[in-house]
Structure 1
Amino acid sequence: MSADTSASPRVGQSVIADYVRTLDGSPGVYRMLDSQSRVLYVGKAKNLKNRVSNYARGNAHAPHIYRVIAETASMMFLTTKTETEALLLEQNLIKQLKPKYNVLLRDDKSFPNILVSKSHAFPQIKKHRGAKKEKGDYYGPFASAGAVNRTLNQLQKVFLLRNCSDATFDARTRPCLLYQIKRCSAPCVGYISEDDYKASVKDADQFLRGKSTAIQAQLAEQMHKASEEMEFERAAALRDRIRAMTQVQSAQGINPQGVAEADVIALHMDGGQACVQVFFIRANQNWGNHDYYPRVTSGASVAEVMQAFLGQFYSDREPPRLVLISDDVEDRTLVAEALTEKAGRKVEVAVPQRGEKLELIAGATRNARESLARKMSESATQTKLLRGLAEAFDLEAPPQRIEVYDNSHIQGTNAVGGMIVAGPEGLIKSQYRKFNIKGDDLVPGDDFGMMKEVLTRRFKRLLKEDPDREGGTWPDLLLIDGGQGQVSAVHEIMVELGVEDIDMIGVAKGVDRDAGKEEFHRMGKTVKALRHNDPVLYFVQRLRDEAHRFAIGTHRAKRAKSMSKNPLDDIPGVGATRKRALLAHFGSAKAVSRANLSDLTAVDGINEGLAEKIYDYFHERG
């Protein structure tokens, strides 16, 4: 790796030309940096010398590449053994560094799977997201949690598999509500044998692998047999399972017969914006779709956007055996080799020309086109609202990032702060943040103190991570739930931190605390109200309500967690087995806290040393 660290004011082709002499024909990755050492562009090359020479000459380039060249003050290089390795490294660096002029995939969410756990004699079926560390069979990905939940709901109707945790399963003495509504076979209380339950698990596995026709035929045969033997209740139950299975298939919409496993990826570009639709086909079933709106620089070609998307999308996901794309990329063979290397098996990348695969691409392309049209319409409306907000409150320019803050607590307990973010593209949910209020000296219900803690933590972090305000994470407008007192308190905090140049508006309920009669407070200005039917008023109300919803939801989650928390969980040396033994012996954690040493040592698995730890834990706290 080499870099120009000198503070040279030179930029452009002459700077790039100086690097050509230091390079050879190796494959690798290059970074182009501006005079502040910020990464402008990351690219890969089969031959670094040839690629950089191309930039140094006045050859024809896309508009955004001309801008990159004009701003380049230095470059960095990393050679690789192969071009495939360079492609993989390029996409990892783009995701990590987020260069100004690269196509950038902004939505980096993970997709859920269905997990049939295998760590228990009676396997559990559940939704799973994240690393596949738990023992069991994984099916997915599904495009959304909703798609998983719908499928799980129907699978429970068909196969009657449990979804409760192992701890809940082991503690049950009678069947739960799911058994009563025919969603579980109640293995927890022995209503089904281990062998019969495993047969249901096997059927579920076959269904999730696309072998539903055989299962339906088996169920139909069992239903007719039960009917002939006049077991009408069993026949009705089997009929309901067949219906549920049919509902799963019909709800999935597209179920291609000739495509067992594929990602269908379609791109539509319009007006300098792009939408990519991804459909997940697994086991000849449609497991949902998801849309992406990558950041596209002016002049980027369709092939460039598609190749950048594929590289970044699969940088942390396992590709399927077949990837169908709507538009060809610059080097499809190279992309397929990179995906094959990542997956450890052959991955084909294809642009369909006919038949069922082309129909899948056509459907995904139509979705991409319609989604982008909706988004562009919403963006136009949002832009108009931001412009109206700037005019209503005399802001210098329409805000590009609005942060809205709210607190939630019950008499000071389980206090949390919530921050939501909005901008030209609407609510940016990936930027939402929650703050667990930590202040030990806060008086219960001290909203001013809570807001001070939240904002102090927020802006201290911003000052540390992005002091030059160049990362796009600094707000240009704060909305605070409260009147003049709250605004004054927040202003003092901002002055203390040296960031008082950020616009701030306090939103108070106003007369009779009615929605529509809000009063708006700003430092050094008179109280302002907006007319009842002003779209800007509705916009601010929606932002405030969203912040309140987020804060309330965070508070409820924290409160529920604290209510279910067992004090025994915090004692070193007391694991799940010993905790069960203590609760079985004493009946409750409160009774454990009152026990003396001799009582504690009477519990199976609790020796004298551990008994002392448990005793000291409760009595030192008291």
Structure 2
Amino acid sequence: MSEVLKEKIKTAPNLPGIYIMLSENSDVLYVGKAKNIQNRLEQYLNPSHVRTQKMVSQISDIRFITTNSEEEALMLEMSNVKSMKPKYNVLLKDDKSFPEIFISTGEDFPSISKHRGKRIEKGEYFGPFASSDDVYKTIDAIEKFFQIRTCSNFEFKTRSRPCMKYQIKRCTAPCVQKTSAQEYKTQIKSAISFLHGKNDELKTQLCKKMQEYSRDMEFEKAAQIRDTISSISKIQMSDNIQILETDNMDILGVHEQSGKLCIHLFFIRNGYNFGSKPYFFEIREFDKSEILYQFIHQFYLSSKPPEYIILSENVNYNNELSKILSTKIIAPKDSRLEKIVSFANQNAKNSLEQQNATSGINETFMTQIAALFNLSKTPERIEVFDNSHIFGKQAIGAMVSINKDGFDKSNYRKYNFDMNVNTMNDYEMMENMLYRRACKILEMREKKQDNIPDLWLIDGGVGHLSAVKKALLAANLDIDYICISKGVDRNAGNELFHTKYEQNIQIDRKSEVMFYLQRIRDEVHRFAITSHRKKRDKDTIKSVLDEIPNIGVKRKKALLLHFGSPQLVKQASISDLQKVEGVSEAVAKTIYDFFHD
């Protein structure tokens, strides 16, 4: 037990406030709040969870900040967790913002698109959605129902004839005046009403419009509206749970099983289910109530909470959290909400059972890999490496991480190479990447951090095996590693495996463990190629726009947001360029002259 903790308890105040636990290297381990700091620290003398025991063993110092109330302590804790990101506080590894749908109502002919990040442009925003896939499915439905354009502004302004979407009735082609401004405005209003959940009101309006078209003998337009009404009705009828148009809430389904907890989060906005996402936690690391508190606390630091957060479990500091987040955290109060929460809890159960099944399969494969290749231990985490380039240009290294739960995307890494990369061959790039990763692993071991790998898998042959040895020798790191080469004719199934003992092993091409190794090799290959393409596109933008005088980072970004690509910037007229924010007539002329002189 940490002697530091015992000493610090003696001087800890009997007041509300926060305590900040520091490691030997002054890294922040944990930020906690308490009604009585001294009493709270005494609870760490006999920790029941493995994670807490590990944290206490690393404490080198504890600092205190007292407050006037427990509520103030909670606010201060939330602020410090957000800024410091302490290792033992952070539950959510992925802090990426959630996507939204954006309708650019500030334009004469608005478009609909996916949006992520700050709300800068004028228009209507709908979300958050659980995933980009949920956004694209909704946009696809709106295209089908209301025929709203999805093209860029520049493409819209430069078209001389309708695109394919007009032919398949996904757009009314306002770009070439196939619809009037008034008719298109009606389409936009209908789409916005749909996203606001005002379906009954919308259907009433559409019925009136359908009757008008019928009276005017515009039967094709009437038929299109009839199909739209039918589709909206089907969406309403297909709901498994009764969600009202006024519902703006997040539903937290919770299920505990086999030492794990799943929180399945559903986004309900304007009566629509905007998708869901499961989160998994080890119960042995936290109490169940503490996990729920930390989840709500951390999730809504970066995501704006809705009017209500509904779950069936008790949450620590419920009232204080509600006040700070300006929302209401409540249990279901009627049969309708009980049914919705029960639906969410069932989904949490299903997600956790699927996760546990996946964990069991991955653990089996890792045990088989240890036996097949005579590894020093059964791996709990595997890191896989590959690089991608075109004759040394836009070279990038990629690493993916796999644990018993599957691909751990929060621990994927990309490696850029310096300007001398053109003189480096494939083996030297791999050696460079692996040396840098080896140094990082040594640093992680010294700091007693988690997520340290037990095995490296390298996409490459005997030459790469030599690169691995050089990198590990230079860094003075010992770790098991395997190189996987394509084999004869580079056909899948003929792979050869090269180990640190210089053995060449071939395994049954139809075995499940072979498919598993191919799948994780293919994942790093996909990640490397995708990262390389992004870098290549970025370098292409840099090589064109960065050469134009008086074009800085902000103007370059504004040009790309407006036109969509450097090629379309090149095709733009001076008057088109002037429509971009921050581009004056003189700057527009400079850009135009650069491409046309």
TM-score range relative to shorter protein:
0.7 to 0.9
Please tell me the residue identity of whatever aligns with 1:348. Answer: K
1:44 maps to 2:28? no
Alignment of 1:12-23 (within 5 A): 12=5, 14-20=6-12, 23=13
Alignment correspondent of 2:499: 522
Q: CA deviation at 1:94?
A: 4.5
Q: CA deviation at 1:382?
A: 1.0
1:434 maps to 2:414? yes
SS in 1 for 2:220: helix
1:331 maps to 2:317? yes
Indicate how the Cα distance of structure 1 residues 545 and 65 shifts in structure 2: closer, same or farther if over 3 A, else same.
closer
Q: CA deviation at 1:415?
A: 3.6
1:358 maps to 2:338? yes
Q: CA deviation at 1:116?
A: 1.1
Alignment correspondent of 1:10: 3
Alignment correspondent of 1:594: none
Please tell me the residue identity of whatever aligns with 2:372. Answer: A
Indicate how the Cα distance of structure 1 residues 241 and 569 shifts in structure 2: closer, same or farther if over 3 A, else same.
farther
Alignment of 1:12-91 (within 5 A): 12=5, 14-20=6-12, 23-25=13-15, 27-33=16-22, 39-52=28-41, 54-55=42-43, 62-63=48-49, 67=53, 72-91=59-78
Indicate how the Cα distance of structure 1 residues 494 and 187 shifts in structure 2: closer, same or farther if over 3 A, else same.
same
Q: Distance in 2 between matches of 1:608 and 1:552?
A: 36
1:211 maps to 2:198? yes
Q: Deviations over 1:327-377 (max 9, x none)?
A: 01133211211211xxxxxx2111114311111110111111111111111
Indicate how the Cα distance of structure 1 residues 198 and 285 shifts in structure 2: closer, same or farther if over 3 A, else same.
same
Q: CA deviation at 1:63?
A: 4.9
Q: Which moved more, 1:390-399 or 1:372-381?
A: 390-399
Please tell me the residue identity of whatever aligns with 2:300. Answer: Y
Indicate how the Cα distance of structure 1 residues 558 and 100 shifts in structure 2: closer, same or farther if over 3 A, else same.
closer
Indicate how the Cα distance of structure 1 residues 64 and 19 shifts in structure 2: closer, same or farther if over 3 A, else same.
farther
SS in 2 for 1:334: helix
Which of 160, 163, 178 is the matching residue for 2:147?
160
Alignment correspondent of 1:511: 488
Alignment correspondent of 1:542: 519
Indicate how the Cα distance of structure 1 residues 466 and 277 shifts in structure 2: closer, same or farther if over 3 A, else same.
same
Please tell me the residue identity of whatever aligns with 2:473. Answer: V
Q: CA deviation at 1:140?
A: 0.8
Q: Distance in 2 between matches of 1:437 and 1:70?
A: 38
Alignment correspondent of 1:309: 295
SS in 2 for 1:109: coil
Alignment of 1:574-589 (within 5 A): 576=559, 583=571
| Contact 1:154 1:247 (C-alpha < 8 Å) held by counterparts | no
Q: Which moved more, 1:434-443 or 1:174-183?
A: 434-443
Q: CA deviation at 1:404?
A: 1.2
| Contact 1:151 1:248 (C-alpha < 8 Å) held by counterparts | no
Q: Deviations over 1:13-55 (max 9, x none)?
A: x3243223xx252x32113446665655432113334534x54
Please tell me the residue identity of whatever aligns with 1:10. Answer: E
Q: Which moved more, 1:96-105 or 1:501-510?
A: 96-105
Please tell me the residue identity of whatever aligns with 2:486. Answer: K
Which of 571, 576, 579 is the matching residue for 2:548?
571
Q: Distance in 1 between matches of 2:485 and 2:569?
A: 54
| Contact 1:264 1:280 (C-alpha < 8 Å) held by counterparts | yes
Q: Distance in 1 between matches of 2:540 and 2:25?
A: 51
Q: CA deviation at 1:513?
A: 3.1
| Contact 1:511 1:517 (C-alpha < 8 Å) held by counterparts | yes
SS in 2 for 1:185: coil
TM-score normalized with structure 2 length: 0.86
| Contact 2:19 2:32 (C-alpha < 8 Å) held by counterparts | yes
Q: Distance in 1 between matches of 2:381 and 2:308?
A: 40
Q: CA deviation at 1:548?
A: 1.6
TM-score normalized with structure 1 length: 0.82
SS in 2 for 1:108: coil
Q: Distance in 1 between matches of 2:587 and 2:534?
A: 36
Q: CA deviation at 1:326?
A: 1.8
Which of 267, 270, 274 is the matching residue for 1:287?
274
| Contact 2:78 2:298 (C-alpha < 8 Å) held by counterparts | yes
| Contact 2:31 2:86 (C-alpha < 8 Å) held by counterparts | yes
Q: Which moved more, 1:371-380 or 1:191-200?
A: 191-200
Alignment correspondent of 1:271: 258
Q: Deviations over 1:382-428 (max 9, x none)?
A: 11211221222222222232221223344445443322111121111
SS in 2 for 1:552: helix
SS in 2 for 1:314: helix
| Contact 2:261 2:283 (C-alpha < 8 Å) held by counterparts | yes
Q: Deviations over 1:56-82 (max 9, x none)?
A: 8x8x87556983667755322223454
Q: CA deviation at 1:318?
A: 0.7
Q: Percent identity?
A: 37
Q: Which moved more, 1:154-163 or 1:240-249?
A: 240-249
SS in 2 for 1:292: strand
| Contact 1:64 1:101 (C-alpha < 8 Å) held by counterparts | no
SS in 2 for 1:315: helix
Alignment correspondent of 2:453: 475
Q: Which moved more, 1:217-226 or 1:501-510?
A: 217-226
Indicate how the Cα distance of structure 1 residues 553 and 255 shifts in structure 2: closer, same or farther if over 3 A, else same.
farther
| Contact 1:31 1:43 (C-alpha < 8 Å) held by counterparts | yes
Gaps of 5+ in 1: 1-7, 341-346, 587-603
Q: Distance in 2 between matches of 1:304 and 1:585?
A: 59
Q: Distance in 2 between matches of 1:611 and 1:353?
A: 62
Please tell me the residue identity of whatever aligns with 1:514. Answer: N
Alignment correspondent of 1:380: 360
Alignment correspondent of 1:598: none
SS in 2 for 1:294: strand
SS in 1 for 2:497: strand
Which of 459, 475, 481 is the matching residue for 1:497?
475
Q: Distance in 1 between matches of 2:530 and 2:548?
A: 29
Indicate how the Cα distance of structure 1 residues 86 and 525 shifts in structure 2: closer, same or farther if over 3 A, else same.
same
Gaps of 5+ in 2: 575-583
| Contact 1:31 1:39 (C-alpha < 8 Å) held by counterparts | yes
Q: Distance in 2 between matches of 1:184 and 1:472?
A: 51
Q: CA deviation at 1:322?
A: 0.8
Is the radius of gyration larger for structure 1 or structure 2? 1
Q: CA deviation at 1:474?
A: 4.1
| Contact 2:249 2:307 (C-alpha < 8 Å) held by counterparts | yes
Q: CA deviation at 1:128?
A: 0.8
Indicate how the Cα distance of structure 1 residues 566 and 162 shifts in structure 2: closer, same or farther if over 3 A, else same.
farther
Indicate how the Cα distance of structure 1 residues 511 and 610 shifts in structure 2: closer, same or farther if over 3 A, else same.
closer
| Contact 2:33 2:74 (C-alpha < 8 Å) held by counterparts | yes
Q: CA deviation at 1:457?
A: 4.7
SS in 2 for 1:550: helix
Please tell me the residue identity of whatever aligns with 2:328. Answer: E
SS in 2 for 1:264: strand
Please tell me the residue identity of whatever aligns with 1:18. Answer: K
Please tell me the residue identity of whatever aligns with 2:10. Answer: D
Q: CA deviation at 1:288?
A: 1.2
Indicate how the Cα distance of structure 1 residues 159 and 329 shifts in structure 2: closer, same or farther if over 3 A, else same.
same
Q: CA deviation at 1:472?
A: 2.9
Please tell me the residue identity of whatever aligns with 1:215. Answer: L
Work out the number of aligned pairs and report it: 576
Q: Distance in 2 between matches of 1:358 and 1:607?
A: 60
Q: Deviations over 1:423-455 (max 9, x none)?
A: 1211112222334555445369x3223323433
Please tell me the residue identity of whatever aligns with 2:118. Answer: A
Which of 183, 186, 190 is the matching residue for 2:173?
186
Q: Which moved more, 1:110-119 or 1:96-105?
A: 96-105
Q: Distance in 1 between matches of 2:25 and 2:393?
A: 47
SS in 2 for 1:197: helix
Please tell me the residue identity of whatever aligns with 1:257. Answer: L
| Contact 2:198 2:245 (C-alpha < 8 Å) held by counterparts | no
Q: CA deviation at 1:581?
A: 9.3
SS in 1 for 2:505: coil
Please tell me the residue identity of whatever aligns with 2:342. Answer: A
Which of 513, 524, 532 is the matching residue for 1:555?
532
